[in-house]
Amino acid sequence: MRKEQTDFLVIGSGVAGLRAAIELSGEGRVIVITKDVPTESSTEYAQGGIAVALSDEDEVGIHYEDTLRAGDGLCREEAVRALVEEGPERILELISWGAEFDKEAGKKQKLAFGLEAAHSRKRILHAGGDSTGKELERVLIEKARTIPSIRRLPFTMASDLLVEDGACYGAVVVSGRSPLAIFARATVLATGGLGQVYSITTNPQVATGDGYAVAYRAGAALEDMEFVQFHPTSLYLPSAPHFLLTEALRGEGGKLLNIRMEPFMARYHQEMELAPRDVVSRAIFTEMGLTGAEHVYLDLRHMGADFVKKRFPRVFSTCLRYGFDITAQPIPVCPAAHYMMGGVKTDIMGRTNIRGFLAAGEAACTGVHGANRLASNSLLEGLVYGRRAGLSAAESPLSAREVSEKEKAFFFPSAQPYSIPAHDEIRGDLRRLMWQNAGIIRNEASLLSARERIEKWRYITEKSFLSRRELELKNMIEVSALIVRAALLRKNSVGAHFRSDYPQKEGGWQRHISFVRGREE
């Protein structure tokens, strides 16, 4: 096996990974790997914006309370406090690096703030109307390109961490079908989410849960894996992907109608379209069941064509490409898997239970989102906790000398390039199974059935692979099993986790469910 040594290894090139790499760049050599092109991540597709208490009418304390309320009693308060208190500084830093956020009409220097569901103040910054994530990715990539100590390896996927005696010395990665061992003093995991384990998702193709599976196999603690957030509104067209239709569409006044063109949200929550995401998703899902439809409608017609085109240019152009003029027609929408609140358990500095191994962004679980993420807090989390993980990685307890010794002594068993018969059928069956049995509404019968089906594919997780395609399926099976297991253990309904057989918050609901190599804590 080929070997290479660096000071720091960052796995993932979204907002959290890039911010960690930038923070580490002054401390030594940094390698950033990404399994596709550097821009292909959930960051690139984030439309809704970034939440931060910077407007005249807002306060950090109000952002703090809104985040706790959305988290439904399971946020870690110190994690939320770090997010909202450091958020303004991270945004001002981005602006100094060239980020161009939208301004108020006629006021070139005054930032424009929008309102989204479950926020009590206008605090959402946007860029290009609905291309906020793309702008953040652009700025961070450009910043990283100016730093000679940062080296990027595209089309490179982490296979397994190099862990011995409770310490991480880097990772084995695969580029094409060629394995490479990258040794490092500290490794930061920032691989994003797992939406692709569901058949209906807003996530890009790369979001197959790789980071969770790699960390789990290495002995890292995973927490809150039952809390998968389903975005209420994705474009529903048989010939189109499930394109995300930003929260801001409802924040600006978009109305939800059922298949009979009747408004229905008033029956489910007093805040109607601005209710928390889990409430709106379940309301839509329930309404679809009551009317026998596969979608509902999001109506923007009353908002005015000029406003919609200017405010949501990306949504307008994408829908138009598929034959829908959102200024003249109601948009068919349905919920879709969108974000993982759980992940690799860390403290508020990104540290895990493995020395020299850190995690940040959607791959991590600091407890900042609790049971239900507040809209537009994810990009802010990537900035704040990516930097924090970088600070911790720079203080890694492992020395360069220790890493060099491990590089000489580490034993690598010979890898066999297995392939998976019926790969596409298994992948499709798994994704449909997770959507139907472990999706928006779950119960014991559906989860037990899912567990039984997944167990039949367990043999795949016990093999080694040298290609992205096989590694992805292995990881998807691993994380699906963890989601189902956690959902079975949580016999109550909290936030995004809703069980029809336990619809209320009941005894023990405030606990966090953790796994380490298959045992819950």
Grouping H, G, I as helix, E, B as strand and the rest as coil, residue 428 is helix
Told to judge if 277 belongs to the known catalytic residues of this protein, a careful annotator would answer yes
- Tell me how far apart the alpha carbons of residues 15 and 177 are, in angstroms, rounded to a whole number: 27
Sheet holding 255-257, edge to edge: 228-235, 331-340, 296-299, 255-257
Kindly calculate the radius of gyration of the chain based on its CA atoms and give it in whole angstroms: 22
- Tell me how far apart the alpha carbons of residues 128 and 136 are, in angstroms, rounded to a whole number: 11
Q: Which of 229, 510, 191 minimizes the C-alpha distance to 372?
A: 229
- Tell me how far apart the alpha carbons of residues 400 and 370 are, in angstroms, rounded to a whole number: 37
Q: Identify the bridge partners of residue 114 per DSSP, sorted by sequence position.
A: 124
- Tell me how far apart the alpha carbons of residues 208 and 197 are, in angstroms, rounded to a whole number: 6
Close Cβ partners of 445 (under 8 Å, ≥ 6 residues apart)? 501
- Tell me how far apart the alpha carbons of residues 426 and 150 are, in angstroms, rounded to a whole number: 38
Q: Where does 29-83 show beta strands of DSSP type E?
A: 30-33, 50-51
The backbone torsions φ and ψ at residue 358, rounded to the nearest 5 degrees and listed phi first, read -125, 165
Nearest-5° Cα angle at 243, 10 to 267: 115
Contact 115, 375 (CB under 8 A): no
* Catalytic, out of 152, 277, 373, 468: 277
Q: Which two tokens stand for residue 135?
A: 């702008």
Q: Identify the bridge partners of residue 358 per DSSP, sorted by sequence position.
A: 188, 351
CA atoms lying within 13 Å on the CB side of residue 49: 28
The residues carrying an active-site annotation are 277
